[in-house]
Amino acid sequence: MEASKVIHAIYTDDDVLMSAVKKVKAERHHIEEIYTPFPVHGLDKAMGLAPTRIAITAFMYGLVGLTVAITMMNFIMIEDWPQNIGGKPSFSYIENMPAFVPIMFELTVFFAAHLMVITFYLRSRMWPFKEAENPDPRTTDDHFLMEIAVHGNESELENLLKETGAVEINLVDKAH
């Protein structure tokens, strides 16, 4: 395994960071990762990240929840043991449907919300005993860090990053 090098450029202002990202992208360098202490609006667009599809998964999870609710109550209340409970019409699902709507609604929301959160954890690789991947603890407080891979163009990159207003530029060995 060969150790490759990355440059860590550190900024102290999100506006400076944004313009730096635009400049680095304009020079056609690939940004590996950016670490920020809080969401910076428009950063994903500036970096050219693909939009998230998590809303689409949530919609499909909701449909699953709705199906579960309908199948479950149809089996229990209509097919398995259609009792007369207080005169409610248990002859077919549609006839007694208004009574089932609260459960249909709640299960739809339950499935959509929980499965979407779990999807988010899986895709972001987050779990309780996960080792933190923070290159510099200051990025959780008031510093912004941009990581760019180096392919033998260190001095060119360093000059470019200095121009963009980086307060600190470190060359780091990164084990793969």
Partner 1 sequence: MYTFSKKLKTFSIILMVLGLLGVGFGFITSHKSFEQVEHLLAEEESHHGGGHGAASHEATSNHDTHAVDTHAKSGHADAGVDTHKKHVEHVQHQIANRPWSALYVAAFFFMMIALGVLAFYAIQIASQAGWSPVLFRVMEGITAYLLPGALIVLAIAVASGTIGHYNIFIWMDPEVVADDKLIQGKSAWLNIWGFTIRGLIFIGGWSLYRHFARKFSIAQDTAEDKSNFKKSFRITAGFLVFFIYTESMMSWDWIMSVDPHWFSTLFGWYVFASMFVSGITVIALVTIYLKSKGHLEFVNENHLHDVAKFMFAISIFWTYLWFSQFMLIWYSNIPEEVTYFVTRFQAYKLPFLGMVVMNFVFPLLLLMNADYKRIPWFVVMAGLVILFGHYIDIFNMIMPATVGDRWFIGIPEISSILLFAGLFIFVVFTALTKAPLLVKGYPFRKESEDFHY
How far apart, in whole angstroms, are the C-alpha atoms of residue 66 and residue 70?
6
Residue 122 beta carbon to partner 1: minimum distance, rounded to whole angstroms: 23
Which of 60, 167 has the CB closer to partner 1? Answer: 60
Find the binding residues for partner 1 in span 35-64 (CB under 8 A). Answer: 55, 59
Residue 165 beta carbon to partner 1: minimum distance, rounded to whole angstroms: 25
Residue 76 beta carbon to partner 1: minimum distance, rounded to whole angstroms: 18
What is the DSSP code string of 130-156? PPP--S-GGGGTT-EEEEEE-SS-HHH
Site string for partner 1, 67-106 (x = CB under 8 A): --------------------x----------xx-x-----
Which residues make Cβ contacts (< 8 Å) with residue 36, sequence separation at least 6?
14, 17, 43, 139, 144, 145
Which of 48, 98 has the CB closer to partner 1? Answer: 98
How far apart, in whole angstroms, are the C-alpha atoms of residue 32 and residue 19?
17
| Residues facing 24 on adjacent strands | none
Q: Which residues bind partner 1 (CB under 8 A)?
A: 55, 59, 87, 98-99, 101
